[in-house]
């Protein structure tokens, strides 16, 4: 990235001699920038005194380099942008989680940790020249003002939104609660654009968007993220469930949960394990910062059979919870191997209200293993980072003696392979035909049941809807056949097999015509989710997805079989 930064800032130079000269300078500056920033990052380290000369020297180099750029560079330099680019490039060379947060981005960072921000309460996405509403949040300003998925934002407070990015629009829509915003909206089933005016509010995204019994005695809870007070939200959800009926099994869904606050993950594990249990420990360069985190409260329920669902997008705090539950043999983990983020970040205050989020330690779950998948301190020559090889993973034991390993995320006790989608599905998603059909469906149907499932009749209607739409895609078989043609042409064999090639191509095309029918169940699942969300928002999307969820089905099966559940946990 440093190379691209220098090319962008120094620009192209005319003349052969000068061009070579500047190329050499770019290489030199790249080196100087890197050395300087590595030096800066070590200022607060324990080796400051020993490295004082190197730090001082490289600060001086950077200062004089920047002075030369600012004085003699052909165009005007955006000072803030140039420095931020250099800072970002330095931090990117360390790991993806160490980042600089300028004052202008503090609100976005605060939303990540608290789940709260001031705005209109809607997800947005870019489509053609404009940003559209992709989904309003229930009971927040956008939804209460009548905005719907598919609405096109033409103007914001009288200013055209044409050509603006989602980031541009997001920044404008966010603001202090009780401040007004005026939108000019275009809606497909209305002839003329219309205005919508309403006040921004404090938007708080629920950490527990859904908690219900899905079978007699078996409850399901989705945890969206590890934001402030999410452990208390989860606790209250369980307490409420127990008021309805006897809780004989609990499914905690952490799939797609990117993590968040470490202390919240400890408090969540504490809901299910005895007071005094070590949940996680952190170890870093500064030994005085090493710390062990224990369950310090009485548990809410240390007996209820528990299943934790994870997938490849379950990271950080999600892995602390699922890993600790697994290591302590408190429950069974089902799904796919988790992301493998075993790094702990801390924020440090900088000048002018900026902050630095930096990696300060690695975390270790009760068995003693660290599940960090990538070693950023030992990069390959090309700068890439390799995963820990299976042969280099270390074996650990859970409390009951079950074998677990480090170095690559949490491996579930029961692996359920994720559903694979055909190329036609990818094409329909890319062309937003599922989204558009659901939008049309909403215009034609005032209401539906929360438990609606896309029917065979609906499927036939969808086939008619897309019959005149473009959704070009190439199957893997077509790609291989095309490669065969290229290679055969290079070797002068194609003329001899051209007839057979044409027959195969025609046969593949005939089979592609049946792809809608072959992928019918997946299409029904996607459209059920999309349509129900039009009426019942995020809660509806979760309810709809449960109708097709093979991992939840497996969890129910395990929780209903007490003998099997105990056999797995006791390593029998």
Instruction: Give every CB contact of residue 382 below 8 A, 6+ residues apart in sequence.
Output: none
Instruction: Give every CB contact of residue 215 below 8 A, 6+ residues apart in sequence.
Output: 556, 560
- How far apart are the C-alpha atoms of 143 and 18, rounded to whole Å? 59
Instruction: Give every CB contact of residue 412 below 8 A, 6+ residues apart in sequence.
Output: 310, 333, 334, 335, 336, 337
Instruction: Give every CB contact of residue 298 below 8 A, 6+ residues apart in sequence.
Output: 275
Asked whether the CA dihedral 472, 476, 477, 481 is positive or negative, the reply is positive
- How far apart are the C-alpha atoms of 559 and 52, rounded to whole Å? 61
- How far apart are the C-alpha atoms of 452 and 462, rounded to whole Å? 16
The DSSP secondary-structure symbol of 337 reads -
Contact predicate 341/95, CB 8 Å: no
Q: Which of 103, 138, 111 is nearest to 122 (CA)?
A: 138
The DSSP secondary-structure symbol of 391 reads G
DSSP letter string, 224-272 = --B-TTHHHHHHHHHHHHHHHS---EEEEE-TT---B-HHHHHHHHHTT
Active-site residues: which are they?
A: 316, 327, 341
Query: What's the token pair of residue 216?
Result: 């007699």
Instruction: Tell me the longest C-alpha to C-alpha distance in the chain.
Output: 82
Q: Which own/partner pairs from 29-35 qualify as long-range (CB within 8 Å, at least 24 positions apart)?
A: 29/65, 30/2, 30/3, 30/6, 32/58, 32/61, 32/62, 32/65, 33/2, 33/5, 33/6, 33/62, 33/65, 33/86, 33/89, 33/90, 34/2, 34/90, 34/93, 35/61
Residues 452, 533, 334: CA angle, nearest 5 degrees? 85
């Amino acid at each position: 990235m440093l190379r691209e930064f220098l090319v962008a800032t120094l620009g192209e130079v005319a003349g052969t001699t000068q061009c070579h000269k500047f190329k050499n300078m770019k290489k030199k500056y790249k080196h100087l920038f890197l050395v300087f920033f590595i030096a800066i990052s070590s200022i607060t380290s324990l080796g400051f005194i020993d490295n004082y000369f190197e730090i001082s020297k490289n600060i001086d180099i950077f200062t004089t380099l920047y002075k030369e750029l600012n004085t003699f560079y052909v165009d005007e330099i955006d000072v803030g942008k140039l420095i931020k680019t250099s800072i970002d490039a330095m931090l990117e060379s360390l790991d993806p989680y160490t980042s600089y947060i300028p004052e202008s981005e503090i609100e976005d960072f605060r939303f990540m940790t608290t789940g709260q921000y001031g705005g209109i309460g809607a997800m947005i996405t870019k489509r053609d020249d404009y940003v559209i509403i992709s989904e309003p949040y229930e009971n927040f300003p956008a939804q209460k003002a009548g905005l719907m998925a598919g609405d096109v934002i033409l103007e914001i407070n009288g200013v055209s939104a044409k050509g603006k990015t989602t980031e541009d629009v997001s920044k404008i829509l966010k603001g202090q609660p009780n401040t007004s915003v005026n939108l000019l909206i275009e809606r497909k089933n209305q002839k003329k654009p219309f205005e919508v005016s309403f006040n921004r509010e404090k938007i708080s995204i629920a950490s527990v968007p859904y908690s219900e019994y899905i079978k007699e005695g078996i409850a399901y809870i989705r945890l969206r993220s590890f934001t402030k007070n999410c452990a208390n939200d989860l606790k209250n959800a369980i307490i409420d469930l127990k008021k309805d009926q006897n809780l004989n099994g609990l499914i905690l869904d952490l799939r797609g949960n990117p993590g968040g606050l470490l202390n919240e993950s400890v408090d969540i594990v504490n809901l299910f394990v005895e007071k005094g249990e070590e949940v996680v420990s952190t170890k870093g360069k500064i030994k005085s910062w090493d710390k062990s985190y224990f369950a310090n409260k009485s548990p809410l329920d240390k007996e209820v059979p528990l299943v934790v669902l994870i997938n490849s997008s379950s990271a950080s705090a999600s892995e602390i919870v699922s890993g600790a539950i697994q290591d302590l043999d408190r429950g069974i983990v089902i799904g796919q191997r988790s992301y493998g983020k075993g790094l702990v970040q801390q924020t440090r205050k900088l000048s002018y209200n900026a902050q630095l989020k930096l990696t300060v330690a690695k975390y270790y779950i009760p068995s003693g293993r660290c599940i960090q998948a990538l070693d950023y301190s030992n990069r390959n020559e090309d700068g890439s980072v390799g995963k820990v090889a299976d042969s280099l993973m270390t074996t650990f034991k859970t409390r009951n003696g079950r074998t677990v390993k480090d170095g690559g995320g949490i491996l579930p006790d029961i692996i359920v392979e994720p559903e694979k989608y055909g190329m036609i599905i990818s094409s329909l998603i890319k062309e937003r035909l599922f989204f558009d059909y659901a939008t049309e469906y909403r215009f034609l149907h005032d209401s539906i049941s929360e438990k609606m499932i896309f029917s065979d009749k609906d499927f036939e209607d969808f086939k008619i809807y897309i019959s005149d739409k473009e959704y070009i895609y190439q199957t893997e078989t077509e790609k291989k056949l095309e490669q065969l043609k290229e290679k055969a042409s290079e070797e002068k064999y194609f003329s001899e097999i051209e007839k057979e090639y044409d027959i195969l191509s025609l046969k593949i095309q005939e089979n592609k015509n049946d792809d809608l029918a072959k992928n019918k169940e997946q299409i029904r699942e996607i459209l059920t989710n999309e349509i129900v969300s039009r009426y019942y928002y995020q809660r509806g999307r979760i309810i709809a997805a449960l109708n097709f969820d093979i991992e939840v089905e497996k969890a129910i099966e395990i929780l209903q079989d007490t003998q099997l559940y105990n056999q797995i946990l006791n390593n029998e």
